[in-house]
Structure 1
Amino acid sequence: MTQHFQGHKIVERLRPDEKELVRELTENMVLPRNIMLTLKKRRQLTATTIKHIYNARYRIKKAIRGPRTELQHLMKCLVEGKYLYTHRVFPVTETLSDILWAHPDSVKLFNMFPTVLIMDSTYKTNKYLLPLLEFVGLTCTGKTYVMAFAFLTSEKEDNFVWALQSVRNLL
């Protein structure tokens, strides 16, 4: 008999109680590495790897999303969370090109502290390699808060102008 069961599918499989634990910890925004540490503490001889945790989390999120695409799920969450959002589509194909959203409380904060609004763009770090534009406000006490987010299809001037006009319209 082998001493190490690495690579044996049956032994590496998550048990039902472990799947439930992964689901609970995922819902509570626990990082995968911390989920793995928790599983190792509960059962020291487990052959489960971090890849199993990622796969389980993917299946859990896919079950929550249902038959909707990720973008459709984002739109559903924005509506349910009562976020303010706007989008534009490509006229020929009728596909979504850009989307911007803001929480109502963030808009209230900006209306109370309208002096400083910082724009920051993170380039191509997400799954779809889209630029994420973030609008950050500053209170009179020096605290920052997120005002709005936008996914843009490209880093052209037109996209940033649209985002700025959309933020102005939300306010």
Structure 2
Amino acid sequence: MRLTHNKFRLVADLSAQNVKPHDILSTLKEKNLKNVFPLQTIYNAKMKIQKNGHESMTQMQGVLLSLKKGGYIYYYHTNNLTNELEDLFFIHPTSLEMWKAFPQVMLMDATYKMNKYKIPILEVVGVTSTRLTFFIAFIFMYEEKEFNYTWEFNCLKSTMGGSLCPPVIDGF
């Protein structure tokens, strides 16, 4: 089940307008009732569109471009000898606003070897006054050493302008 060129362009245009894949499929079926494309066809087309947009970039360049386009605040640390990225910190502006509104509690949890690079992901979450949690930041860490955690805390401090010192910081 392949999309014709025109249908592929329609998927690309609708995706650029942030239309959900299910709604894209509905639009295709409205245009031609004989379409029997599964939803996976739309997901595959979206992946192909995204891949073509980042063809000349490395994966990390694509990630950094996506963070920049998405308005994220991000910092990264590279190895001085190899120039390879070792740590990546990012926070969405909406998360930052939530954090400014509810800075009292900050929780951190590291997830180990759950990605294809087998490196820890440190998640930082906050708690609202109604005890709901929200994500503050994500940090990909090359190693769990004192330097990495110090770097991560410095990123958090600089994101808040150095004015943050929550009374409660806890690790899960």
> Aligned pairs, how many?
156
Contact 1:25 1:35 in 2 (8 A): no
Task: Tell me the equivalent position of 1:30.
Answer: 20
User: Which shows bigger deviation, 20-29 or 85-94?
Assistant: 20-29
Percent pairwise identity:
33
Cα distance in 2, alignment partners of residues 105 and 53 from structure 1: 29
Q: CA-atom RMSD, angstroms?
A: 3.1
Q: TM-score, normalised by structure 1?
A: 0.69
Partners of 2:19 and 2:153 in 1: CA distance: 31
Aligned to 1:67, the other structure's residue is in SS state coil
In the alignment, structure 1 residue 75 sits paired with structure 2 residue 88: no
Residues 79-124 of structure 1 show CA distances to partners (whole Å, capped at 9, x for unaligned) of 3444322111112101111110113343333233221111133333
Equivalent pair of 2:25/2:39 in contact (CA under 8 Å): no
TM-score by length of 2: 0.68
> Rg larger in 1 or in 2?
1
* Amino acid in structure 2 at the alignment position of 1:157: K
Give me the whole-angstrom Cα distance separating, in 2, the residues matched to 1:61 and 1:13: 17
- Partner residue, 1:4: none
Unmatched segments (≥5 aa) in structure 1: 1-11
TM superposition shift of 1:74? 2.4
In structure 2, list runs of 5 or more residues that go unmatched. Answer: 161-172
- Once the two structures are superposed, the pairs formed by residues 10-29 of structure 1 within 5 Å of their partners are 12-24=1-13, 26-27=15-16, 28=18
Give the structure, 1 or 2, with the largest relative contact order (CA under 8 Å, sep 6 or more): 2
